[in-house]
Structure 1
Amino acid sequence: MTVHEHQQQLAAHFSRHLDAYHQYADHQRGVADRLAQRLCQIITRPYHHALEIGCGSGFLTTALAQYWRQPRIARYGLNDLYQPPALNPPALETYLHIGDISKLLLPASLDLVLSASVFQWIEPLDELLRKLHQTMHAEGIFACSLYAGQHYQELRETLGIGLNYRAPQTLFDLFTQYFQPLWSDSVCSRIYFTDPHAVLTHIRDSGLHALSVSPTFSAWRQFRSRYARLCDEQGYPLTQDVFLFIGRRR
């Protein structure tokens, strides 16, 4: 399955299960909150034109509105593959920019581009970064979080599925080709479950059901057997690896 097909499946899943996603996607919510908090500490002046890429969950938009009580942005574009839920960013004017961001014509003179937990889906990422760099204002700010190197590595080891997550250093080197770094961080952690079925349930409920498969009985037995080898005294592990970056256009 191609990355584009994964994008389509994931977007369709979000549109059907947004309430459940909001209930279970605690890690994505926390990552978006941390990015918004750090961004609000760095940005001290009003901005004219912002574009949020992949706004569908609403986590980043909501977090920005919490940290910026008053509108700090004149125009705020909301991008996603499909119509997002009603969102209220800290802006005087809001508009929709619907579609695959890698194929859309980008708005001109953007001085703030931001995204949370989306860029791991975009290939080739360097082409999008080049397009953003070309269309952004000379002093524009770029802020994003995305999942990185070891994220969900257990699924690759047991089911042979998952995205080709880039290592944090590789992402840093890529981003700094276009943006002068103002802040970056990499956080890798593990959560534990009582059994392999609980792992898959968590992945489905937290929004990555589009990556999962419906295994046959024999494949399910093989999955459980392989995952059992990864189990330790804390339970069945699942790795979460995230990279965060804020930079100014070079």
Structure 2
Amino acid sequence: MQPHDTHADHAMTMPTDNKIAKRFAKAHHSYRSHAVVQRLMVQRLMAGLLAYLPAGVLPQVLEIGVGSGLLTDALLERYQVQQLYLNDLYEHIMENPLANQPSQCQYLLGDICHIDVPQGLNLVVSSAMLQWVYPLDGLLVKLYHAMATGGYFAMSSFVQGNLEQIYQLTGQGLAYDTPKQLLARLTMAGFVIDKVEVSDEVVYFDSPMAVLRHLQATGVTATSGSFRWNKQRLDEFCQRYWQLADAKGVPLTYRPIIIIAHKKTNKTP
């Protein structure tokens, strides 16, 4: 699972899975209070899923990138899960309280691209995580084959234009897919797309430094790889960022996408 640069002309050493795990493990307890957009994404994801998969009993569910458990909580509030599989890179997820305990819960620690996943899954969910997997193609095929026929895949992620102010000022960031590219990957894997929703969510802060603290508190560093802050670079960043401020404050733009898809039923001969 490798993060990736937005443009080829900005060469950098990419964070390893271990570095990503350390970032999010460090932010585990601060995530919930700072992840305003990510919380909104969970709400929209669940609302979209319920339109296609009404609340009820689900035999087998996999959540990828559990983090602090925002999506887990929302999932268990709406569905009676008999077997829940929870995945992430770090073991802190095992500390998350499960308000509505599933019949059985199993933790799958490690890179979802490389570990074994259960078969016959009725639902696979993931929120604000899959942008770290590039390209997604191999994982999507793996998940498609692990799902039961008619099973649903509900995901939220970020697309091109996410954190645009950070890229504009530092030239650093992930190579986010466009919505069209992401949908093409899902279709090529075999999924039928049921719902797509893209939005721009602008969060305002008191200062450029507050933006950086926010990103750190949610496990996302403003830059990656070989980029290193120093006093001169930080001063320049703040000075230029102030020029983007308006009456509401210093803006940071998120561009989330919500997708509901399913594994098509087999056609009878």
The separation in 1 between residues aligned to 2:36 and 2:213, in whole angstroms, is 14
The question of whether the paired residues in 2 share the 8 Å contact of 1:6 and 1:211 is answered with no
- In the TM superposition, residue 87 of structure 1 has moved relative to its aligned partner by 4.1
Structure 2 equivalent of residue 77 of structure 1: 85
- In the TM superposition, residue 67 of structure 1 has moved relative to its aligned partner by 2.8
Structure 1 equivalent of residue 208 of structure 2: 196
**Within the alignment, does 1:223 sit opposite 2:247 as a pair?**
no
- In the TM superposition, residue 211 of structure 1 has moved relative to its aligned partner by 4.1
Structure 1 equivalent of residue 258 of structure 2: 244
The separation in 2 between residues aligned to 1:134 and 1:67, in whole angstroms, is 26
The separation in 2 between residues aligned to 1:27 and 1:143, in whole angstroms, is 17
The separation in 2 between residues aligned to 1:5 and 1:153, in whole angstroms, is 20
- In the TM superposition, residue 109 of structure 1 has moved relative to its aligned partner by 1.4
Could you say what secondary structure the match of 1:5 adopts? Answer: coil
Structure 1 equivalent of residue 112 of structure 2: 101
The separation in 2 between residues aligned to 1:203 and 1:8, in whole angstroms, is 19
CA deviations over 1:69-94 (Å, ceiling 9, x no partner):
xx2x3211011112212342663211
Q: Name the amino acid aligned to 1:147.
A: F
Greater than 6 Å deviation, 4+ residue runs: none
The question of whether the paired residues in 2 share the 8 Å contact of 1:54 and 1:116 is answered with yes
- In the TM superposition, residue 53 of structure 1 has moved relative to its aligned partner by 0.5
Structure 1 equivalent of residue 221 of structure 2: 209
Q: Name the amino acid aligned to 1:226.
A: R
The separation in 2 between residues aligned to 1:153 and 1:165, in whole angstroms, is 11
Could you say what secondary structure the match of 1:143 adopts? Answer: strand
1:14 to 19, 24, 31: 24
Q: In angstroms, what is the RMSD of aligned CA positions?
A: 2.1
Structure 1 equivalent of residue 52 of structure 2: 42
CA deviations over 1:197-216 (Å, ceiling 9, x no partner):
12112211232137466511
Structure 1: where are the runs of 5+ without partners?
none
Structure 2 equivalent of residue 30 of structure 1: 40
Report sequence identity in percent.
30
The question of whether the paired residues in 1 share the 8 Å contact of 2:61 and 2:84 is answered with yes
Structure 2 length-normalised TM:
0.83
Structure 2: where are the runs of 5+ without partners?
4-13, 265-269
**Within the alignment, does 1:182 sit opposite 2:194 as a pair?**
yes
The separation in 1 between residues aligned to 2:223 and 2:233, in whole angstroms, is 16
The question of whether the paired residues in 1 share the 8 Å contact of 2:173 and 2:222 is answered with no
Q: Name the amino acid aligned to 2:28.
A: L
Q: Name the amino acid aligned to 2:202.
A: R
Structure 1 equivalent of residue 8 of structure 2: none
The question of whether the paired residues in 1 share the 8 Å contact of 2:205 and 2:251 is answered with yes
The question of whether the paired residues in 1 share the 8 Å contact of 2:196 and 2:258 is answered with yes
2:63 to 47, 52, 64: 52
CA deviations over 1:153-211 (Å, ceiling 9, x no partner):
11111112211111122222222332112222111121222321121122112321374
Could you say what secondary structure the match of 2:30 adopts? Answer: helix
**Within the alignment, does 1:127 sit opposite 2:138 as a pair?**
yes
Q: Name the amino acid aligned to 2:105.
A: T
The separation in 2 between residues aligned to 1:235 and 1:248, in whole angstroms, is 41
